[in-house]
Amino acid sequence: MTLTTPRVRSGRITFFVALAVFAQESTWNLYDSQVPPLLRAHLGSAALIGALMGMDNLLGIFIQPWMGNRSDGTRTPWGRRIPYLVVGMPVAATLFVLIPHAAVSLPLLILVMFGYALVANAFKPIAESLLPDFIDPRRRSRANAAVKIASSITVIVAALISIFLIDDFPKLSFVIPALLMLVSVAVLAVKARDNRSPAYQAALEEDRRGAGGGSPRVRMRDVLLDIVRDADRSRLLVIAAVFAFGGAWFASRSLVTNYGMETLGLSRGDAGGLTLPSGLAFIAAAYPVALLAERFGRLRVILAGMAVFALGMVLGTLVRTPAGTIAAMCVAAAGAAAFMVNMAVVLWNLAPSARVLGTYTGLYTVGWSCGGFAGPALVGGMVDVTGWPFLLLDIAVVTLVAVLLVARVAVVRRRRTDGAAL
């Protein structure tokens, strides 16, 4: 599969894809940072809090691949992605605003969390699929780096809200990222259309040739069977690695506020701000790791990045102070950038057709969501046994599993003549 996008347009398209991701992540990051304390007011178990925080990722396991597959088969004058975004984002923003108001009771809070997670998960893979729709496979790491930088900016936004607003204005704080989402989707709806993307045009051409029995939609069952039956298991191993590292990453984000309160003695607002400098570290590392991946190979850079992430977690365990934790999170975020910028590109470039790019995005997010569901619960259970002071070390242990899986993918791909295409 070879898609070409004129260089003059690629920067503009990358900006709009980054804008779409910024819109959704502006709410997700405050959700990860400040919903755990709302749950902590009703619950005492770190494992149970982690499980509820992973609920959105459990929903994503079922919703995201289905919606990605459905958007692959959609044909409209606006293309196959944008119609879903202009409907889903405003609904998700409304539900997000209701979360702190629902915290008066645990059942109501869980209900609103469920509604937000359901809607937000529905359009998450659709927004991310815009990138491989438009960008040539060889340049996807650079474009995805820009998208991840936009996502990281929302981490900074969430941390600033935590530091300056959450203690005094807990309900107003949730309105700000919701408004950012509404403004972003309005700009996206006016300026972006994906009906002219190379992948969409390639999909239309396959439709005209009668691929898939004349139906524009490739069945999810057929996509899964193709991955499972693949002799070298590369795509399956990639998804498993996404699951393992996703678990470590989500645990480091969703449990760090409580870690700061329980271990470092910080207030809720100050603990929520522990991730602010790490957002800057991620931004600083994102584009360089994309260039390094294009120079030395994506899998090698991913392996090095995960090792740095684990090292950061060990550093935070050894230097158990607010400054030490901030430094550790910065090191870890720089390492995580190598994985998060390049791993989705690896899976996109393994897709056999432009007609299934949205489905592959959904499968990537299945691995990420499964890790996001299991990781905080697993690490939370480890914390229940070892105590909050060892949270970061527990995360490092989970990261080592991901390292082993990616190492296996690298070995498998070296045996193939097309390994450089990753």
pLDDT, tens digit, 9 for 90 and up, residues 291-303: 999 889 999 999 9
Helices and strands counted in the chain (H then E): 17, 0
Q: What is the pLDDT of residue 3?
A: 44
3-state DSSP call for residue 321?
Answer: coil
312 has pLDDT over 90:
yes
Distance CA 279, CA 334 (A): 9
Q: If pLDDT is split at 50, 70 and 90, which confidence band does 337 have?
A: very high
Extract long-range pairs of 172-179: CB within 8 Å, 24+ residues apart.
Answer: 173/30, 173/34, 173/100, 174/30, 174/34, 174/96, 174/97, 174/99, 174/100, 175/97, 177/26, 177/27, 177/29, 177/30, 177/96, 178/27, 178/93, 178/94, 178/96, 178/97, 179/93
Lowest mean pLDDT among 39-43, 107-111, 186-190, 385-389: 186-190
Q: If pLDDT is split at 50, 70 and 90, which confidence band does 420 have?
A: very low
Q: What is the pLDDT of residue 172?
A: 86
Q: What is the pLDDT of residue 418?
A: 52
Is the pLDDT higher at 363 or at 219?
A: 363
Average pLDDT, the chain: 85
Nearest CA to 129 out of 185, 179, 65 is that of 65
Q: If pLDDT is split at 50, 70 and 90, which confidence band does 1 have?
A: very low
Q: What is the pLDDT of residue 331?
A: 96
Superfamily covering domain 8-417: MFS general substrate transporter like domains (1.20.1250.20)
Is the pLDDT higher at 305 or at 148?
A: 305
399 has pLDDT over 90:
yes
Torsion of Cα atoms, 102 then 105 then 110 then 113, to 10°: 20
Listed by start position, the domains of the chain span 8-417
180 has pLDDT over 60:
yes
289 has pLDDT over 80:
yes
Q: If pLDDT is split at 50, 70 and 90, which confidence band does 5 have?
A: very low
